């Protein structure tokens, strides 16, 4: 019986990992450009934290979490999303006392026990940001812009932004009641899933994929048309800022997020290059959550974006990306003496900042040359007894095949040019 990676998890091997690193670099660059600072939280937390923040009734909490008991019988859970942990840290370390506005970002693995499919893993990776302490619509839009800047920065072209407002505790209850009333009228004709939603979470009936559900709810009231003054103003500001920054977007009155904690703005970025799981990123405002988790009343906004989905789109849009690490120099050697010399010299050059590779398998020069070629080393130098006694060798530039004499002492200087 051979060991295999757990269902729904995968290895990112050399060759693919370079694409990830490139993406991560862009994420960090964009985050820093908006002055977000990185925060790293543990991969697991008390189960209660997620139940409280995400919502007991959500699919995530009710059936998708990796929950276990440790040896002291405490219930722990591998984090299914990033926001809860960030807010926990924010509250725990009183970050709100250090400055009125906190802007942080994260990048890391998340876990959800779902059936794997295109763009859906049990361990997946997200990057995201949270801005705590301000109600400004500018921050709502900033979240969208960060995600869009990352995609643009990577040369991704296939994506679309959709926004909506899910209201607040002042206007949502009344709307919900009204919607439920309307839905009840057609309830028996809705799909079985939607029938359950009418009671559990009526808002979600609206974004059902079922064609028949869509038809039946065609004239159902939308939250965005029943916002209180505050929410309406806020939503207008978001729209206006998006226009000012010349950002393409569309208002989707049926857009609902899966997590319970959102208020006001909700948004989603999807890509037609993905499969059925087409969301690249999603986020929104959560003005009640910090308080809910035991902190002082603090407004917040955030978003999360899927790394593997980003990579999938990136591979489709940018087939030209095939970079790999290339050694600057490959030192081929002939016998035990020269091999040791090569080892020492390599160390010297590596310390000086060069990527240097050599043969560890006692191979023939021919094989070593093949290896150097495969690694796409920029230069190769063959060291034998002749070279060691004369102190000079020929440096071969692999791309052109040209060789030039070099003094071994001067190797470092020559490589620098």
Partner RNA sequence: GUGUCCGUAGUUCAGUUGGUUAGAACGCCAGGUUGUGGCCCUGGAGGUCGAGGGUUCGAGUCCCUUCGGACACCCCA
Residue 285 lies near RNA (rule: CB under 7 A): no
In the complex, minimum distance from the CB of residue 400 to RNA, in angstroms, rounded to a whole number: 7
Site for RNA in 360-389 (CB under 7 A): 361, 363-367, 369-374, 380, 382-387
- Establish how many alpha carbons lie within 13 A of residue 125's alpha carbon, considering only the half-sphere containing its beta carbon: 17
Q: Which of 356, 338, 360 is nearest to 348 (CA)?
A: 356
Q: Tell me the C-alpha distance between 361 and 363, whole Å.
A: 5
Q: How far is the CB of 108 from RNA (least distance, A)?
A: 12
Do 325 and 355 touch, CB atoms closer than 8 A? yes
- Residue from 202, 282, 295, 300 that binds RNA (CB under 7 A)? 282
Among 35, 73, 115, 319, binds RNA (CB under 7 A): 115
C-alpha closest to that of 126 among 314, 309, 316: 309
**Beta-sheet strand order (sheet of 75-78):** 44-46, 75-78, 66-69
Binding to RNA by residue 403, rule CB under 7 A? yes
Six-digit token pair at 363?
A: 């191979």
| Strand order across the beta sheet in which 279-285 lies | 37-38, 102-111, 123-132, 300-306, 279-285, 263-270, 160-165, 250-251
Position among 53, 126, 165, 263 found at the interface with RNA (CB under 7 A) = 126
User: Which residue stretch of 30-38, 138-146, 274-282, 318-326 sits at the interface with RNA (rule: CB under 7 A)?
Assistant: 274-282
- Binding segment (CB under 7 A) for RNA, from list 6-14, 19-27, 43-51, 349-357: 6-14
The nearest distance, CB 201 to RNA, in angstroms, is 8
Instruction: List the one residue from 121, 141, 358, 406 that touches RNA (CB under 7 A).
Output: 121
Q: Map the footprint of RNA across residues 176-235, applying CB under 7 A.
A: 193, 197, 204, 208-210
241 binds RNA (CB under 7 A): no
Q: Among 176-184, 222-230, 347-355, 359-367, which window interacts with RNA (CB under 7 A)?
A: 359-367
Whether the Cβ atoms of residue 81 and residue 99 lie closer than 8 Å to each other:
no
CA distances from 187 to 59, 183, 308 (A): 21, 6, 38
């Amino acid at each position: 019986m051979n060991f295999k990676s757990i269902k729904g998890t995968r290895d990112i091997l050399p060759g693919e990992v370079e694409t990830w690193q490139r993406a991560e670099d862009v994420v960090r660059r964009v985050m820093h450009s908006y002055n977000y600072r990185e925060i790293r939280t543990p991969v697991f937390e008390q189960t209660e934290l997620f139940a409280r923040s995400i919502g007991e009734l959500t699919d995530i909490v009710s059936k998708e979490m990796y929950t276990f008991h440790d040896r002291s019988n405490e219930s722990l859970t591998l984090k299914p999303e990033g926001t809860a942990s960030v807010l926990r840290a924010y509250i725990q370390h009183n970050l709100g006392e250090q400055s009125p506005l906190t802007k942080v970002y994260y990048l890391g693995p998340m876990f959800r026990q779902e059936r794997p499919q295109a763009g859906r893993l049990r361990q997946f990776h997200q990057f995201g940001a949270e801005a705590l302490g301000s109600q400004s619509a500018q921050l709502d839009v900033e979240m969208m812009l960060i995600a869009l800047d990352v995609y643009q920065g990577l040369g991704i072209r296939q994506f679309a932004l959709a926004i909506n407002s899910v209201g607040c505790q002042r206007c949502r209850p009344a709307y919900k009641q009204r919607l439920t009333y309307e839905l009840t009228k057609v309830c028996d004709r809705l799909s079985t899933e939607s029938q359950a939603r009418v009671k559990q979470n009526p808002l979600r009936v609206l974004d059902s994929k079922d064609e028949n559900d869509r038809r039946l709810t065609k004239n159902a009231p939308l939250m965005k048309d029943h916002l209180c003054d505050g929410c309406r103003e806020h939503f207008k500001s978001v729209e206006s800022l998006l226009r000012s920054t010349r950002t393409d977007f569309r208002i989707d009155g049926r857009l609902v997020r899966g997590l319970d904690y959102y208020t006001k703005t909700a948004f989603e970025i999807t890509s037609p290059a993905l499969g059925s799981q087409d969301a690249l990123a999603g986020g929104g405002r959560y003005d009640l959550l910090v308080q809910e988790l035991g902190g002082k009343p603090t407004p917040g906004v955030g978003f999360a974006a899927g790394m593997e989905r980003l990579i999938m789109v990136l591979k489709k849009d940018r087939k030209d990306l095939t970079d790999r690490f290339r050694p600057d120099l490959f030192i081929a050697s002939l016998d035990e003496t020269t091999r040791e010399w090569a080892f020492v010299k390599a160390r010297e050059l590596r310390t000086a900042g060069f990527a240097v590779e050599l043969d560890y398998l006692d191979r023939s020069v021919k094989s070593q040359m093949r290896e150097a070629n495969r690694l796409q080393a920029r230069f190769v130098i063959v060291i034998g007894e002749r070279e060691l006694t004369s102190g000079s060798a020929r440096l071969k530039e692999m791309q052109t095949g040209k060789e030039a004499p070099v003094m071994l002492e001067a190797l470092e200087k020559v490589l620098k040019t």
